[in-house]
Amino acid sequence: MPRVRVDDAEIYYEVHGDGFPILLIQGLGMPSTLWYRQLPEFARRYRVILMDNRGAGRSDQPRAGYSIAQMAKDAVGILDHLAADRAHVLGLSLGGLIAQELALSYPGRVAGLILAGTHPGGPEYLEVTGSMWREQLNVAGLTREDIYRQALQWGTTEAFFRDRPEEVERFIRLRLELPQTGHGFQGQFQAGAAFDARDRLPALRCPTLVVHGTEDRVVPPRFARELAERIPGAQLHWIAGSGHLPFVEAPEQFNRAVLDFLAGVASAPPEPVEGE
C-alpha cells in the first residue's frame, strides 16, 4: 500500500488519472474509498489524489497527535512526496476544515479550493449542533454497522435513505471494510471541535467554491453562508434537496458543480501583488 510518513504517522494515498492534480479529503471517520462517485469522472480530467486522514481508513490511527493543522500537514506531505507543487483541493465536512487550514497555512500550494458540507469553525457550530451530536454519539449497545447506518441516515435525507437502498448498502459496506477505531474517531472529532478559522479566512486569495446541501442537518446551511461571506470572492452553490453528503446523495449535481468551477480556475501560480 502506498503510504507516506508524516511526523508520527503513515498516511495512505492513491493516484488516478493524469493532468493537473486535485486532492480529495474526506470527512470524519470516512475512508477515501467513498469517493467512488467522483473518482471516474474527475480522473478523466485531472490527476486525482486520494488520501485517508490519520485516524481513518488505511492510514495510521494513533492514540494522540490529532489537530487540523497536523492533518493539513499530512496532506502537504503527500503533495510533497508526489512532487505536486500546486493542486486543487476538495474537502468534505472535517475534510473541509483540513482544506481551509491547508489553504491558509500553505497558500502557494492551492490553485482552487472546494469546501463541501463544512463550516468555518468556532464555538457557535457546536453550540448549535451539540444536542444532535450528543444523540448521535450515544452508541451504547450498537454494532459498528448500526453506528455507520445511523450516521448515514443523519447525513442524508429521508428520501435518499428510503429510495436508494443499493447506494445505502454500498456506502455502509465500504465503511465496514475499513472501520475506524474509537481513538481515531475521538482524535478526529476533538481536532474538528478545536478548529476556528473565522478570523483568518479573509486572508484567503485562492478561488473558492462552497458547496452545501439545502437539507444538511449535520452542518446547518447558515454556516455555509457564513463561510462564503468570510472568504473573499467565494462562490456559494446549493445542492437542492440534499443533506450533508451530496457527493453520494446527488453525485451528478455535485460533480458538475465542482468541475464547472474548476474549469474556470487557472492552474498557473497567481501573479504577485505589487507591494507584497
Whole-angstrom Cα distance, residue 167 to residue 100?
A: 29
**Predicted confidence (pLDDT) at residue 31 exceeds the cutoff of 70:** yes
Radius of gyration of the chain (CA): 17
Question: At a CB cut-off of 8 Å and minimum separation 6, what does 157 contact?
Answer: 215, 241, 242, 243, 249
pLDDT for 232-243, tens place per residue?
999 999 999 999
Give SS3 for 160. Answer: helix
Torsion of CA 223, 227, 228, 231, to 10 degrees: 170
Looking from the CA of 177 toward its CB, the CA atoms found within 13 Å total 10
pLDDT for 163-206, tens place per residue?
999 999 999 999 999 999 999 999 999 999 999 999 999 999 99
Beta bridge partners of 9: 6
Q: What is the pLDDT of residue 107?
A: 96
Share of the chain above pLDDT 70, in %: 96
pLDDT for 248-276, tens place per residue?
999 999 999 999 999 999 765 554 544 43
Mean pLDDT throughout 107-131? 97
Predicted TM-score (pTM) of the model is 0.96
pLDDT for 46-63, tens place per residue?
999 999 999 999 999 999
Q: What is the pLDDT of residue 269?
A: 58
Please say whether the dihedral angle defined by the alpha carbons of residues 197, 200, 206 and 207, taken in this order, is positive or negative.
Answer: positive
**Predicted confidence (pLDDT) at residue 8 exceeds the cutoff of 80:** yes
Domains delineated in the chain: 3-263 (3.40.50.1820)
Q: What is the pLDDT of residue 1?
A: 83
Q: What is the pLDDT of residue 273?
A: 41
**Predicted confidence (pLDDT) at residue 231 exceeds the cutoff of 50:** yes
**Do 155 and 94 touch, CB atoms closer than 8 A?**
no
> Which residue from 234, 267, 233, 253 is spatially nearest to 96, judged by alpha carbons?
234
Give the length of the chain.
276
Sheet holding 235-239, edge to edge: 3-6, 9-16, 47-51, 21-25, 87-92, 110-116, 208-213, 235-239
Q: What is the pLDDT of residue 275?
A: 41
